[in-house]
Amino acid sequence: MKACVLKSPAPIDSRPLEFGEVKTPLPGEDELLVRVTACAICRTDLHVVEGDLPVRRSPVIPGHQIVGEVVALGAKVVSDDRAEGSFNIGQRVGVAWLHRTDGVCRFCVSGRENLCEGPDFTGWTRDGGFAEYVVAPAAFVYSLPQNFKDLQAAPLLCAGIIGYRCLRLTGIEQKEWPGARLGIYGFGAAGHVVIQLARARGADVYVCTRDRERHQSLASELGAKWVGNAMSPPPVKLDAAIIFAPAGELVPVALQALEKGGVLVLGGIHMSPIPSSSFLPRQRAFPFARMYSLFHLSKLTRR
Ligand SMILES: [Zn+2]
Ligand SMILES: [Zn+2]
């Protein structure tokens, strides 16, 4: 099959992805073979390609927002329309970043498998979707409804999942939150999905992004209450904020923008170092800020 292969990470300007012929993978007994029809590009792909994330498989095929059709089933995959978790040849499916978990660690057994101690990731520790075919465990493959085009569905498989998870962690998810003030730091793919969900739920959204031309105007178009530079404080204190930009220097900035009891969610897979901060005086003023990280950053970068 044809694929874009990363042999060793390098700056993207030096074109480290090589397009060429590789062996088509065979599905393991609990896996599906999927013919890729679309694969979106994520900032994390760039982190893999440029080596911000350590090499975990080499060579590797990046890409983890995959839409395709099932073309072969592993021996133990159930093919029965009536059975939950079954798949059929020709079925349209999606494959996302979380490729497989160990299923036994304390995070998996408590319903938090995104924090698994022994995970595999599509396009990083396993080959991904910048290719004609990909294999993935059936238990981690999504059946996709027909009312999306492939190109519309693909970004939902990372930006959509991450964005929705972050929005849930902020607590701003019920209709009882009209007028809640949500900050979004970094306005790429996930940010532009989240603003639409948050606005539909009645929240006011404050977008901080350094990209003046494209991201700031898209944020305004999508109904942001205020749009500004990432380092300038929003005009009101925020009930919650999400940092999507991989920029650790935004953490103290966003914490200072929070209202009492506010929640800050870190949505990135990779983040530059978080600067130390003499935060105590403000910490006293906002004593109940909570901070969540969607992934265990230190563990991910260490492994
Ligand atoms: Zn991604
Ligand atoms: Zn686990």
Model confidence over 254-266: pLDDT tens digits? 998 998 888 999 9
Q: Tell whether the model's pLDDT for residue 302 goes beyond 90.
A: no
Q: Which two tokens stand for residue 175?
A: 């209709």
Cβ contact 238:259 at 8 Å: yes
CA of 47 to the centre of ligand 1 (A): 10
Which residues, chain by chain, have CB under 5 Å from ion ligand 2? 101-102, 105, 108, 116
How far apart CA 218 and CA 195 sit, in angstroms, is 10
CA of 285 to the centre of ligand 2 (A): 38
Which residues, chain by chain, have CB under 5 Å from ion ligand 1? 42, 44, 158
CA of 119 to the centre of ligand 2 (A): 7
Element (DSSP H or E) covering residue 221 = helix 217-221
CA of 46 to the centre of ligand 1 (A): 9
- Angle at which helix 159-170 crosses helix 189-200, to 10 degrees, equals 50
CA of 236 to the centre of ligand 1 (A): 31
CA of 107 to the centre of ligand 2 (A): 6
Confidence class for position 103, pLDDT limits 50, 70, 90: very high
Q: What is the pTM of this model?
A: 0.82
Model confidence over 198-214: pLDDT tens digits? 998 889 999 999 877 88
Model confidence over 124-162: pLDDT tens digits? 999 999 999 999 999 999 999 988 899 999 999 999 999
Model confidence over 5-37: pLDDT tens digits? 999 999 999 999 999 999 999 999 999 999 999
Strand-pair partners of 143: 93
Confidence class for position 301, pLDDT limits 50, 70, 90: very low
Of 8-22, 119-133, 173-187, 288-302, where does mean pLDDT reach its minimum?
A: 288-302
